[in-house]
Amino acid sequence: MMDAKPDVIRYVVPRDVLRRIYWRRLMKRPSRIVLMFLLVVLGMNVLTRVPDDPWRIFGFMCILLCLFGPTALWIQLGRAIDANPHLTDEKSLEFNERRVIASGADWRNELAWTRFKGLSEDAAYFYLELPTPGLATVIPKRAMNDSQQAAFRRAAAAIGRAAGA
């Protein structure tokens, strides 16, 4: 069977937008929420129920970890994005019913739809879910017209078929 001519979309995702998207996605992961909740509960219990001063330091450390953990994640995401300039390069995205091809000035990735875990979207972006939890390829909807968005959704339906869903 011959592939249909793929649609080509060109876009750039700015560093700060990508950083904010990844930060929100990672902060909303259930494991992160549970960890933060447990640290707050543990820290508050130690601070209110243990009179011994050395243990109070442990309680303060639990609370500080909850407060500064998100900030540390924000800083590390900025460093990771800066260390991987292909994340903010101008990209060309081609797709058809069998594959997705992303390319930049000096790189090219071609993946079957089955390599992704899922597709999600909000008002501004499509998110092709990567195998690493919380991470996704971010594609701005503004780079596509309505017919390209519909074609993208149809093509991405192969993700669910491949997963047996």
Q: Are residues 93 and 158 in the same domain?
A: yes
Task: Render 92-140 in DSSP notation, one character per residue.
Answer: EEEE-SSEEEEE-SS-EEEEEGGGS-EEEE-SSEEEEE-SSTT-EEEEE
Lowest model confidence (mean pLDDT) among 52-56, 96-100, 159-163: 159-163
1 domain-assigned: no
| Residues 19 and 77: beta-carbon distance below 8 Å | yes
CA 32 to chain centroid, in Å, comes to: 14
Q: pTM here?
A: 0.80
131 domain-assigned: yes
CA distance 107 to 92: 11
| Residues 8 and 82: beta-carbon distance below 8 Å | no
Highest mean pLDDT among 13-17, 110-114, 153-157: 13-17
CA distance 113 to 111: 6
Q: Rounded mean pLDDT of 31-43?
A: 92
Q: Are residues 33 and 60 in the same domain?
A: yes
Q: Position of tokens 């543990």?
A: 42
Give me the number of domains the chain comprises: 2
Q: Are residues 64 and 106 in the same domain?
A: no
Q: What is the pLDDT of residue 37?
A: 93
28 domain-assigned: yes
Q: What is the pLDDT of residue 2?
A: 42
Q: Are residues 119 and 95 in the same domain?
A: yes
Q: Are residues 71 and 91 in the same domain?
A: no
Q: What is the pLDDT of residue 4?
A: 52
Which helix (H) or strand (E) element contains residue 6? none
105 domain-assigned: yes
Is the pLDDT assigned to residue 164 strictly greater than 60? Answer: no
Domain that holds residue 148: 7-13+87-162
Q: What is the pLDDT of residue 125?
A: 95
Which helix (H) or strand (E) element contains residue 20? helix 15-27
47 domain-assigned: yes
Q: Are residues 101 and 149 in the same domain?
A: yes
As given in the structure block, the two tokens for residue 5 are 């001519």
35 domain-assigned: yes
The pLDDT tens digits of the residues spanning 80-115 come to 999 998 899 999 999 988 889 999 988 999 998 988
Three-state secondary structure call for residue 7: strand
Q: What is the pLDDT of residue 6?
A: 57
Q: Rounded mean pLDDT of 13-20?
A: 95
Q: Are residues 112 and 45 in the same domain?
A: no
Domain boundary residue, one of 62, 83, 104? 83
Q: Position of tokens 């929100």?
A: 24
